[in-house]
Chain A
Amino acid sequence: MRKISLSNLDGLFAKIAEKSKLYIPVDDNKGFAAFKLWAEGVKMSNALNTVRSAKDFFFPQMENLMEFKTEGKNIEIIDIREEKEDFVVFGVRACDVKSFEILDRVFLSEPVDSYYASRREKGVIVSLACGKPAETCFCSAFGIDPATPAGDITAWKTETDLYLKANTEKGEKLLSQVEGLTEDCDDKAVEEQKKAITEIVKKLPLQNLPLDKFGKGKTKEYFDSPEWDELSSHCLGCGTCTFVCPTCQCYDVKDFNTGREVKRFRCWDSCMYSDFTLMAHGNSRVSQKERFRQRFMHKLVYYPDNNDGLFSCVGCGRCLSKCPISMNIVKVMKTLGGKENV
């Protein structure tokens, strides 16, 4: 365990930024946090979490894939991928760190998504324990410990100091890079904070979700539940929940065609959108109910079906605070899971 005084946080950031790009959560003019590139004078936000999740670093909202150029009857395919630079993301919360594992299972299984893989390889994650979880947090329901987040390095922030502990080789390397600034220490303060967080988590209102009612093999049980009608009835069909979600991973591949040149890019898509399942033959999800059901069945049943029972929700609570009509996965789980199992 290493520690550094908070008064020297800028020094730590400067040292990291010497060798690689460093991103930290920063407040905007309205007091909401987003990950921004660190530079001299940029201050770290005290917000619990960023509005957008940290998945952006590995799976950005928009990304160019390749280009085509035509000349006469020839078509040239241009690989625009470049060697990615190392980068460090500082202050990722336990929920978002867990989301990387969920995304990895999608993008790093065969066929491996090389765009995602190269970013994952180059990125170093410094996670930060949650001293003051919000009422909308329910990561612990999914077995995530906000007191001990994963990541290459885990950090704990107390009133006076920042404590750092490496969990991986990448983390060791980064810690050795800043060794001169940090000092060896015991884990007393960290253990105290962990205990305090554990006590707070017990008081959070959404810790006891009926998770045992969901997971592998539950498709038939819930697919035709009459509750979907009411749950989805006032859904606006916007993509807010999917875009702020750290585990939503759907995208669309589009071509920007100038006539002689095509830029192929991908961008986030949302199962909440009416054209998400639009195909040549028509649309297989004709109403918002089916689109709504898809999102929650995917998180709670289909993904676990294909991934050893792992849920694809990390309880970050972003959809709870951002949905325009305050409908969310917690309400879905309580409504569906609360009913008598036939």
Chain B
Amino acid sequence: MQKITRDALIEKAQTLLDSGVVTRVLGWKKGDFDYDVTPALFTDIESMKKDFVFGDFCGANFSKYLLKETKKIGVEGKVLVFLKSCDTYSFNQLLTEHRFDREKVYAVGIPCDGMVDVNKIKAIVGDGIVSIDDSAEVIKVETLYDGVKELNKADILLERCANCKSRKHVAYDELMGEDGEVIDSNRFDEVEKLEKMSADERFAFWQNELSRCIRCNACRDVCPACTCEKCVFNNPNSGVENKAAANSFEEQMFHIIRAFHVAGRCTDCGECSRVCPQHIPLHLLNRKFIKDINSFYGDYQAGETVGSRAPLTNFTKEDLEPSEAVNREDK
């Protein structure tokens, strides 16, 4: 796959800004290190040339930012958003749910061969990263204590990229480079492992993972499927508002309730697990739902098209009865 460069994206932005197609650009801004990239809005090409970056640390899915960006009062014109293939599924899902105005967005699909997880780098090279050169497949990391180490990109990919489900862009106004294909990935392997566990083993697995939760809500706040104006967990009038990880039961319920809430709408973009400060594999809950929906109702990919009705909200006479679902062998 061809590697898209920062310069090519800046050039694209310049063309679109100059011609008046867009008035601003959602992009990635360089940080203090080579890996701490921040989402940012650019309104002129000079600031882009100064601060815009594109590389292996641009994992952030911008689709959800379009909600706020398209609702700004007094801001004219379209916003340019660069979308990786996985992001386009979230983009479509949000459109299906009427969460932002498509007319106010100009989407440019960009090819992606996977983003890198800095935590995986740190696990290998340790602390004290001075620089990371990600211009080639072999990534060079220099540290204060251990000189330069060469890492294979395949070994340090974000989980969701190691199990990429699609390099195909399902939404865009314009595509840079060639489009990819839907991938027959191994993303359900971990779920199958969990299914094969005994109930007690599985309980122990999740208790260990979820007991680390600090209820920071980063998973919810980054999730493109979590777009309620006011989350019940933030609403003092809801009766279930809760800021504390008061006990393990509540932690488990929070994440399981959230997984239920996004079932059928989760595109498996993997942002929840990417941002979790406690490294809880939250995507596994969502993938279990996706896998079950696929096996009960036929393959369904949220966000593949705009306006599709998810199996859970679309009754058909062929739907299996609830009793069939609970009588599964793997129960």
A residues whose Cβ falls under 8 Å from a Cβ of B: 28-32, 34, 48, 51-52, 61-62, 132-136, 200, 203-206, 230, 233-234, 236-240, 242-244, 252, 254, 265, 267-270, 273-275, 278, 320, 322, 324-328, 330-331, 334
Contacts and interface: CB of A to CB of B under 8 A. Distances in A.
A234 B38 contact: yes
Contacts of B38: 234, 325-327, 331
B128 interface: yes
Contacts of A236: 218, 221-222
B36 interface: yes
A17 B216 CA distance: 33
18 contacts: A32-B279, A52-B214, A132-B127, A233-B41, A234-B39, A238-B275, A239-B215, A240-B275, A240-B277, A243-B214, A243-B215, A244-B214, A267-B244, A325-B38, A326-B37, A327-B38, A328-B36, A331-B32
Contacts of A48: 127
B127 A135 contact: yes
Contacts of B123: 31
Contacts of A254: 243-244
B126 interface: yes
A234 B29 CA distance: 11
A233 B75 CA distance: 15
Contacts of A322: 277
- 6 tightest A-B CB contacts, nearest first: A267-B244, A324-B275, A134-B127, A326-B36, A238-B218, A236-B221
A327 B65 CA distance: 15
A243, A267, A325: residue with the most chain B Cβ atoms closer than 10 Å: A325
A61 B208 contact: no
Contacts of B32: 205-206, 320, 330-331, 334
B67 to A, nearest CB: 12
A121 B159 CA distance: 44
Given A203-B144, A244-B277, A269-B243, A135 B33 contact: yes
B278 interface: yes
Contacts of A134: 127-129
The majority secondary structure among interface residues of chain B is loop
A214 to B, nearest CB: 18
Contacts of B126: 132
Contacts of A330: 32
Contact of A275 (B60, B129, B145, B234): B234
A28 B212 contact: yes
A208 to B, nearest CB: 12
Contacts of A132: 126-128, 144-145
A134 B275 CA distance: 20
A328 B221 CA distance: 17
A275 B275 CA distance: 22
Interface residues of B, number: 43
Nearest to A229: B41
A274 B220 CA distance: 14
Contacts of B241: 275
A243 B217 CA distance: 11
A133 B234 contact: no
Contacts of B127: 48, 132-135
A203 B124 CA distance: 21
Interface string B272-304: 001101110000000000000000000000000
B40 A268 contact: no
Interface in B33-74: 33, 36-41, 60, 65
A252 B234 CA distance: 13
Interface in B228-243: 230, 234-236, 241, 243
B326 interface: no
A238 B223 CA distance: 11
B243 A273 contact: yes
A230 B214 CA distance: 28
Contacts of A267: 243-244, 246
B144 A331 contact: no
A300 to B, nearest CB: 17
Contacts of A320: 32, 36
A61 B235 CA distance: 20
Given A135-B130, A136-B33, 12 more contacts: A132-B127, A200-B144, A236-B218, A238-B275, A239-B215, A243-B215, A244-B277, A254-B244, A267-B244, A273-B217, A273-B234, A324-B218
A293 B213 CA distance: 26
B148 interface: no
Contacts of B208: 29
A294 to B, nearest CB: 17
B157 to A, nearest CB: 16
Contacts of B274: 324
Contact of A62 (B222, B244, B275): B244
Contacts of A269: 243
Nearest to B275: A324
Contact of A61 (B60, B144, B221, B245): B245
Contacts of A204: 144
Contacts of A31: 123
B31 interface: yes
Contacts of B128: 132-135
Interface in B108-139: 123, 126-130
A252 B37 contact: no
A48 B217 CA distance: 25
A52 B213 CA distance: 11
A153 to B, nearest CB: 24
Contacts of B36: 320, 326, 328
Contacts of B212: 28, 34
A160 B230 CA distance: 55
Interface in B167-198: none
B303 to A, nearest CB: 20
